[in-house]
Amino acid sequence: MKRCYDFLEMTSRSFAAVIQELNPRLRDGICLFYLVLRGLDTIEDDMTIPGAKKRNLLEKFHELIYVEGWTFEDSGPDEKDAQLLVEFDVVIREFMRLPTEYQDVIADITKKMGAGMAEFTVRRVVSLDDYNLYCHYVAGLVGHGLSRLFAASGLEDKSVGENLDLANSMGLFLQKTNITRDINEDVLDGRCFWPAEIWKRYASDTDEIIAKRNRGRGMEALNEMCVNALAHIPDCMQYLESIHEPSVFKFCAIPQVMAIATLTLCYDNARVLDENVKIRKGEALWLISKSADIESVRHVFYMYLVQLERKNHEGIPMYEEVKKIVDRTKRDLVVKMKSKPENLTYEYMALALFVFAMVAFYLYLPQIREDASYRV
């Protein structure tokens, strides 16, 4: 199991820390759930595997996780998570030691996700229905599996594992935020997950989405993608309201607050079309500190909706759509808040001071080390 946590650290950019903070009744199961899906995703992402072979692996992966000693050594040379598959027998061994009800959930989600990924090796994201279906396969199903594991552990009510529409929206909000943000990187890699139903209104081909000569129309497409993702916020908040165990709540809340911060950064931001934008590390740490309970998370969402409102103006074609979503969501949040956010000055000041402190620390760290070394 120690080697599995090594792989978690190697392959997870954002979930490793929060998984390791989970209640012991869930920690190993969710670590292995992540690694099984990461193995599946590594095969799906590998463009060097022939189509027929890839589809067969994706469709059979839920069976392979029960085959003791199975490994895969045919990943392409540039596949960053290839080592996980080379030593996948370690994951299989620990997976088969999990309680049967955990195994059943993981195998079922792996089967559905593998079938969906195989389907999209020959199918493109054209319509909005395609987009929602693709995001369901690669992220909504993760929400399904996690919710069922939460309920199976006894840490959350059984209803959490049954109301899967909300769990699906949790996954779609995260996935759509990432797809919206990653447009430059994806187009340069020769792929695009933005639905053609949206981008074809603004560009003749995917390269033109990010082309500087088409910047105005590209920005319109970007903003429409942001609006599509924002629509999932009410479901996400309703889901978080149903989670009560502290470590499970934080596990669910951290990605969601990161997503609203990222989506706010992306809206009407030309840099998204030129590079991969990310929220600052100091801001990310501040968001983690604000993810311990539902009241704090409501305030975080409200704060970013206010920022989004300030970025939105009547010259943007998506102005009315964004205004409606922001006004409605802010109103719903205020109704449930215990302390009303009549003035967010202190929240902004706290965030600004936190980011400033982190920047100062990193800037002066070399000098601090030099002084410490001199004193020694």
DSSP letter assigned to residue 159: G
Q: Name the residue among 11, 101, 154, 122 with its Cα closest to residue 58.
A: 122
Angle between helices 215-230 and 319-336 (to 10 degrees): 30
13 is catalytic: no
**Residue among 253, 245, 33 at smallest CA distance from 160:** 245
251 catalytic? Reply is yes
Residue 374: what pLDDT? Answer: 43
* Residues 213 and 274: beta-carbon distance below 8 Å: no
Q: Which amino acid is at 141?
A: L
Residues of the chain with CATH 1.10.600.10: 124-340
May I ask the CATH class of domain 124-340?
mainly alpha
Catalytic residue among 38, 181, 267, 304: 181
Q: In the prediction, which pLDDT does 41 show? A: 95
pLDDT score, position 17: 86
Asked whether 135 and 113 are in contact (CB, 8 A), the reply is: no
3-state secondary structure (DSSP) of residue 12:
coil
User: Is the distance from CB of 91 to CB of 35 less than 8 angstroms?
Assistant: yes
Q: 0.85 exceeded by the pTM?
A: yes
Q: Is 181 a catalytic residue?
A: yes
Give the per-residue pLDDT at 362.
65
CA dist., res. 309 & res. 322, Å (int): 8
For residues 15 and 28, give the distance between their C-alpha atoms in angstroms, rounded to a whole number.
13
CA distance 164 to 315: 38
**Cβ neighbour number for residue 118 with a 10 Å cutoff:** 21
Amino acid 373: pLDDT: 47
One pLDDT digit (tens) per residue for the chain, 376 residues? 999 999 999 998 678 889 999 999 999 999 999 999 999 999 998 989 999 999 999 999 999 999 999 999 999 998 899 999 999 999 999 999 999 999 999 999 999 999 999 999 999 999 999 999 999 999 999 999 999 999 999 999 999 999 899 999 999 999 999 999 999 999 998 889 999 999 999 999 999 999 999 999 999 999 999 999 999 999 999 999 999 999 999 999 999 999 999 999 999 999 999 999 999 999 999 999 999 999 999 999 999 999 999 999 999 999 999 999 999 999 999 999 987 775 454 555 566 666 666 666 666 666 555 554 444 4
Cα atoms in the 13 Å half-sphere on the side-chain side of 51: 5
Per-residue pLDDT at 338: 84
Catalytic residue among 7, 61, 251, 302, which? 251
At residue 346, the pLDDT reads 52
Q: Which one of 33, 95, 134, 193 is the catalytic residue?
A: 134
38 is catalytic: no
